């Protein structure tokens, strides 16, 4: 026996090639890839290393000439694409797999195309011929192939050129004898119509004929496509209302009924006459069906289709009874969408939902936070003066109480253990709760509030809990401040109590950083109603000490508020000349620092106030001259008469929102232009005052350095020590302080210096929280401010809402007793001065105040929303476009005639001497083709329009 030579043995690659025709592969399949991913899932590094190796292997397999191996690689790449790996590099390999004659390979290719071709729309040009080839149906074996191609059209991002090329093939397939192909064709036409609306206009009758198809699946697909198209442009489908109405009456398929109701929802929004025909049948459908999905869609059609009028209580009751049952369901999704419809019905008329207060109160305590958020919108329709406190206390209790969900563990029959899962309330919901509480209390000019002492305590609690909501503390601070200001203006009987609430808010720890926007309205109220404060000098000192952390908007209000407090206090009974001189010196010293502020508004107000206060100081220093300059109390007329006349000339009354802004719109812009100096004038001024331009441009003033002068001594020492530790100058603090004083002196000597630095908010915030103890004396002195004609009651905090049930019942009884003794207060109404055009202006203000939607930027992100050209397409320009096309064809024919005439003139004339033979002359025949206008088509449309008019007419019984 002879032993064969080892060189004659086949290689491993040769063995693989021999076995592949029999379906035996040695490469990793998709199943092997998934197993490998699971086995390397211990760490992200090992998984990434494994996937990188597999991608390299897939690249080699994709370049293989074997179509089966290439298909296997494309299938694995389609799976890896879900992990974020781009597969657009193998688009040409995908086209090769799509062109395979094997159905399994073709399916893999079309699947990969739906995932990858959206990144490169140009590849669709190469795909056109392949699609047209696969759409041809010749025998029974081609049915699956055609279905694969039609399914690809429904999933791939279609361009207008591709839609134009394949639309004729698709419409020819609508007449197929197989319902499977007709159904797939109808769904594929949806993407074509979105990008090429002309196809729908020119073949409208062919497409809508499928509504009368015998097969229920084709009918369902047609109704679904028309429903989705009507969301883009509902006008072309209004003419189908009689046919769709007959379908709604005769069909018994719940899915088709739901799609028909959605379709009528879109159509009734543009054709109001439909509701007279549809509403009785929809109510009859609600009485006859038990399907929850059909009932919900019927209510949704009535509400969103504008069929429910604000005085139709019978229909509203019918809808709300269904929604009430849905809200009692165990399905959270059904409760959520039902709550959303509740809100839409409440918008039509809030009285519709007024009787469902128990249900809404139950929904705001639901386990699902999203349902609670939707239920907050419903509270406006049920709240009144009797249940306002109950609703507000229920909401505020969610801030402090930790809610849990108890789950019974029934898996183990012997041990029925219970597990508690805490309900995590996000800050977004808390922010919405605060906004809702403020909105509920201010409805109809505080019509539901009978106890303003309770409302003042509520605003103090809201300002306390809002400090922890960092995402919207500026917004919430504005809302709370506006309410305090509104109460001060509109409710004169409780101004003393509201002033105490304002002082309590100002005395909170670090309120200027945690809730800075509330201070602007609080300080404005302190100045405007300074007559309610007895010891105004203490208030002025405290405001100046706390002003180091105020923002620019608050400092603008602070200057005027200090002058108002000074005017009221100086003309009181307790003001002495020495005390007046002391407080004026403190104010002047503070105001002078603001004249160098970075804000021009603060500079202007500070300079005006500073000059006037200097005149008062000079008049105080001058001796009394026979009583001409000083009054009987020793104070000059600038303090006793002139300063009060600035602010006490007119009584402040509430005006409608937007009135002042409306008045300012009539200002001519040319009066607002500010003249600026040119370079030549600027240089002349600099030379006149002998000022170095380099010194002016290089020097800068730090607002925080100026404000440090007016801090408390101990507080100033702590701030200095902490700031010196954080400073990275690398030099001794004394040297730094000396340089700072020299720089400040140089800046103060420059009359034309304007600072461009802003307050470093982060450093201030660090200083305040690290030296919280140093600010305690300011808050303690703030409580020493006395309000006239008031008793210091204990203002409750948010802790009152976290007591047990027994304490809550006792409080309710006390509140009920107190309510019987509560005295009614008068609330002033808004005065309107500019009536014409004000309502339109308010609408513009509301639109501009709404926050814009956030746009997420993503270059390679997959956009699920399909871009459509159907929404702006005008279907009424059919004849105009046809006439324009005919006119263009005539112009093109004229150009061709002129071209042939020019060629004929340039040819040499053939003499008749050549045997008189002119048979060589060729006759040019120009055939003019005219487009068919489709007279029968237009006649049919005209007739259907008449029938539609009769269908849409309201029936009077």
User: What six digits make up the tokens of 217?
Assistant: 């699946």
* Whether 559 contacts 605, CB under 8 Å: yes
Element (H, E) at 699: none
Residues 753 and 699 sit within 8 Å (Cβ to Cβ) = yes
Buried b (16+ CB within 10 A) or exposed e, 582-612: ebbebbeebbbbbbbbbbeebbebbeebbeb
CA-CA distance, 702 to 755, in Å (whole number)?
8
- What Rg value do the Cα atoms of the chain yield, rounded? 41
Give the C-alpha separation, 127 to 161, whole Å.
12
CA distance linking residue 277 with residue 254, whole number of Å: 21
Distance CA 224, CA 263 (A): 8
Percent of the chain with pLDDT over 70: 66
The DSSP secondary structure of 77-130, one letter per residue, reads: HHHHGGGT---GGGHHHHHHHHT-SSHHHHHHHHHHHHHHGGG-TTHHHHHHHH
- pLDDT of residue 527 exceeding 70, the answer is yes
CA atoms within 13 A on the CB side of 682: 10
Is 493 within 8 Å of 826 (Cβ atoms)? yes
**Alpha-carbon dihedral of residues 347, 350, 353, 357, nearest 10 degrees?**
120
**What is d(CA 363, CA 382) in angstroms, rounded to the nearest whole number?**
13
- pLDDT band at 658; cut points 50, 70, 90: confident
Q: Which residues contact 496 (CB under 8 A, 6 or more apart)?
A: 532, 787, 788, 789, 790
85: alpha, beta or left, given left = phi > 0 and alpha = psi -120 to 50? beta
Per residue in 125-138, pLDDT tens? 888 888 888 888 77
Residue-level pLDDT at 894: 74
- Alpha-carbon distance of 216 to 836, in angstroms, equals 58
Confidence class for position 784, pLDDT limits 50, 70, 90: low
Between the CA of residue 291 and those of 244, 278, 344, 614, what are the distances in Å? 21, 19, 22, 82
| Token pair for 884 | 């324009």
Rounded CA separation 204/222 (Å)? 12
Q: Provide the β-strand partners of residue 404.
A: 422
Which of the two residues, 140 and 638, has the higher pLDDT score? Answer: 638
| CA pair distance 442, 52, nearest whole angstrom | 62
Enumerate residues 6+ apart whose C-beta is below 8 A from 918. Answer: 910, 912
pLDDT, tens only, 222-260: 999 999 999 988 988 999 999 999 999 999 999 999 999
Angle between helices 254-268 and 241-250 (to 10 degrees): 150
**In the prediction, which pLDDT does 325 show?**
92
pLDDT band at 770 (very low <50, low <70, confident <90, very high): very low
Residue 465 to residue 473: CA distance in whole angstroms: 10
pLDDT category at 878 given cuts 50, 70, 90 is low
Token representation of residue 685: 């001024």
**What confidence category does residue 950 fall into, taking pLDDT thresholds of 50, 70 and 90?**
low
pLDDT tens readout for residues 885-896: 566 667 776 776
**Closest-CA residue to 73 (of 82, 63, 61):** 61
Q: Are 657 and 442 in contact (CB under 8 A)?
A: no
Q: Residue 900: what pLDDT?
A: 61
Rounded to whole angstroms, how far apart are CA atoms 349 and 250?
34
How far lies 520's CA from each of 154, 456, 597, in Å?
A: 58, 18, 18
Higher pLDDT, 214 or 949: 214
- DSSP 3-state helix, strand, coil percentages of the chain (rounded to 5)? 65, 0, 30
pLDDT (mean) for 331-344: 91
Structure tokens belonging to residue 338: 């039902």
Asked whether 762 and 522 are in contact (CB, 8 A), the reply is no
d(CA 130, CA 491): 78
The two tokens of residue 733 are 């603090």
Arithmetic mean of pLDDT, 855-880: 54
Per DSSP bridges, beta strands 418-422 and 404-408 are antiparallel
Beta pairing partners, 418: 408
Task: Inform me whether the pLDDT recorded for 303 exceeds 70.
Answer: yes
Element (H, E) at 201: helix 197-202
**Can you tell me the mean pLDDT for 614-621?**
88
pLDDT at 822: 52
Q: H or E segment at 934?
A: none
Q: Which string of DSSP letters, residue by residue, matches 714-760?
A: HHHHHHHHHHHHH--S-S-HHHHHHHHHHHHHHHHT-TT--------
The per-residue pLDDT for 15 is 61
pLDDT tier, 927 (very low <50, low <70, confident <90, very high otherwise): very low
| Confidence at 161, pLDDT banded by 50, 70, 90 | confident
Residues belonging to the chain: 957
Please determine, for residue 462, whether its predicted confidence score (pLDDT) is greater than 60. yes
| pLDDT confidence of residue 413 | 53
Cβ-contact 178, 167 below 8 angstroms:
no
Please state the φ and ψ torsions of residue 783, each to the nearest 5 degrees: -75, -10
CA geometry: angle at 702 spanning 701 and 708, to 5°?
Answer: 125
Query: How sure is the predictor about 519, in pLDDT bands with cuts at 50, 70 and 90?
Result: very high
| DSSP-based three-state secondary structure for 630 | strand
Place of tokens 């809610």: 403
Interatomic CA distance for residues 847 and 357, integer angstroms: 31
Q: Can you tell me the distance from the alpha carbon of 897 to that of 902, in angstroms, rounded to the nearest whole number?
A: 9
Beta bridge partners of 420: 406
Of 93-107, 146-160, 356-370, 623-637, least confident by mean pLDDT is 623-637
* Nearest by Cα to 148 from 96, 111, 100: 111
Residues 435/479, Cβ–Cβ less than 8 Å: yes
């Amino acid at each position: 026996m002879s032993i064969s030579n080892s060189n004659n043995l086949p290689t491993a690659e040769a063995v693989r090639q021999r076995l592949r025709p029999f379906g035996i592969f040695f490469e990793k399949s998709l199943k092997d890839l998934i197993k490998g991913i699971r086995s390397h899932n211990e760490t992200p590094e090992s998984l990434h290393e494994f996937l990188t190796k597999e991608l390299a292997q897939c690249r080699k397999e994709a370049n293989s000439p074997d179509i089966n191996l290439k298909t296997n690689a494309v299938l694995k790449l389609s799976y890896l694409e879900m992990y974020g790996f781009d597969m657009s590099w193998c688009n040409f390999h995908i086209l090769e797999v799509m062109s395979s004659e094997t159905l399994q390979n073709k399916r893999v290719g079309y699947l990969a195309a739906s995932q990858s071709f959206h990144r490169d729309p140009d590849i669709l040009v190469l795909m056109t011929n392949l699609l047209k080839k696969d759409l041809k149906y010749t025998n029974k074996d081609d049915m699956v192939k055609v279905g694969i191609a039609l399914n690809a059209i429904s999933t791939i991002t279609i361009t207008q050129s591709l839609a134009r090329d394949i639309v004729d093939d698709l419409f020819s397939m609508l007449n197929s004898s197989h319902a499977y192909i007709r159904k797939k064709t109808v769904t594929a036409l949806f993407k074509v119509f979105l990008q090429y609306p002309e196809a729908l206009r020119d073949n409208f009758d062919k497409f809508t004929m499928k509504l009368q198809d015998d097969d229920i699946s084709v009918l369902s697909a047609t109704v679904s496509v028309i429903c989705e198209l009507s969301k883009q442009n509902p006008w072309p489908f209004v003419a189908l209302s009689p046919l769709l109405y007959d379908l709604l009456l005769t069909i018994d398929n719940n899915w088709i009924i739901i799609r028909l109701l959605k379709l009528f929802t879109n159509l009734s929004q543009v054709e109001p006459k439909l509701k007279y025909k549809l509403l009785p049948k929809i109510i009859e459908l609600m009485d006859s069906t038990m399907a929850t999905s059909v009932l919900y869609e019927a209510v949704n059609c009535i509400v969103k289709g504008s069929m429910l009028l604000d005085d139709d209580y019978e229909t509203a009751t019918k809808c709300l009874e269904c929604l009430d049952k849905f809200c009692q369901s165990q399905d959270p999704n059904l409760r959520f969408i039902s709550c959303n419809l509740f809100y839409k019905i409440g918008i039509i008329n809030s009285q519709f939902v007024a009787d469902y207060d128990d249900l809404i109160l139950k929904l705001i305590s639901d386990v699902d936070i999203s349902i609670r958020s939707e239920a907050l919108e419903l509270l406006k329709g049920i709240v009144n003066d009797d249940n306002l406190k109950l609703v507000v206390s229920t909401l505020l209790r969610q801030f402090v109480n930790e809610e849990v969900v108890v789950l019974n563990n029934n898996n183990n029959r012997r041990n029925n253990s219970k597990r508690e899962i805490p309900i995590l309330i996000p800050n977004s919901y808390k922010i919405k709760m605060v906004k809702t509480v403020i909105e509920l209390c201010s409805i109809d000019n505080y019509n539901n509030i009978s106890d303003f002492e309770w409302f003042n305590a509520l605003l103090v609690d809201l300002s306390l809990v809002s400090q922890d909501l960092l995402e919207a503390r500026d917004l919430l601070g504005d809302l709370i401040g506006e309410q305090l200001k509104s109460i001060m203006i509109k409710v004169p009987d409780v101004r003393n109590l509201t002033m105490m609430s304002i002082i309590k808010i100002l005395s909170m720890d670090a309120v200027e950083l945690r809730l800075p926007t509330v201070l602007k309205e609080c300080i404005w109220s302190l100045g405007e109603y300074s007559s309610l404060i007895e010891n105004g000098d203490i208030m002025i000192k405290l405001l100046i000490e706390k002003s180091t952390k105020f923002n620019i908007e608050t400092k603008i209000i602070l200057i005027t508020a200090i002058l108002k407090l000074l005017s009221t206090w100086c003309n009181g009974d307790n003001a002495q000349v020495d005390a007046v001189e002391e407080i004026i010196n403190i104010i002047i010293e503070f105001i002078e620092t603001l004249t160098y502020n970075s804000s021009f508004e603060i500079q202007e107000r500070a300079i005006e106030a500073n000059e006037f206060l200097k005149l008062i100081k000079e008049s105080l220093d001058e001796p009394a001259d026979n009583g001409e300059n000083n009054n009987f109390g020793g104070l000059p007329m600038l303090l006793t008469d002139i300063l009060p006349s600035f602010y006490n000339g007119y009584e402040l009354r509430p005006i409608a929102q937007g009135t002042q802004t409306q008045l300012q719109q009539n200002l001519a812009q040319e009066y607002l232009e500010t003249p600026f100096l040119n370079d030549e004038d600027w240089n002349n001024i600099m030379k006149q005052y002998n000022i170095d331009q380099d010194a002016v441009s290089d020097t800068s003033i730090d607002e925080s350095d100026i404000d440090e002068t007016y801090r408390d001594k101990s507080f100033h020492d702590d701030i200095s020590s902490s700031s010196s530790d954080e400073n990275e100058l690398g030099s001794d603090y004394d040297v730094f302080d000396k340089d700072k004083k020299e720089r400040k002196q140089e800046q103060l000597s420059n009359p034309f210096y304007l600072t461009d630095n802003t307050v470093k908010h982060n450093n201030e915030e660090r200083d305040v929280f690290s030296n919280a103890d140093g600010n305690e004396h300011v808050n303690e002195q703030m409580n020493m401010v006395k309000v006239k004609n008031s008793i210091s009651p204990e203002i409750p905090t948010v802790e009152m809402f976290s007591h047990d049930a027994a304490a809550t019942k006792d409080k309710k009884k006390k509140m009920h007793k107190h309510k019987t003794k509560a005295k009614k207060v008068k609330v002033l109404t808004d005065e309107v001065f500019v009536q014409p055009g004000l309502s339109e202006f308010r609408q513009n203000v509301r639109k501009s105040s709404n926050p814009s939607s956030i746009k997420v930027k993503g270059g390679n992100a997959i956009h699920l929303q399909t871009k459509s050209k159907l929404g702006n397409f005008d279907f009424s320009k059919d004849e105009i476009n046809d006439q324009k096309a005919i006119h263009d064809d005539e112009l093109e024919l004229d150009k061709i005639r002129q071209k042939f005439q020019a060629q004929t003139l340039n040819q040499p004339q053939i003499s008749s001497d050549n045997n008189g033979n002119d048979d060589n002359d060729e006759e040019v025949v120009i055939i003019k083709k005219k487009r068919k206008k489709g007279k029968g088509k237009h006649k049919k449309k005209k007739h259907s329009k008449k029938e539609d008019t009769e269908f849409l007419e309201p029936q009077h019984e």
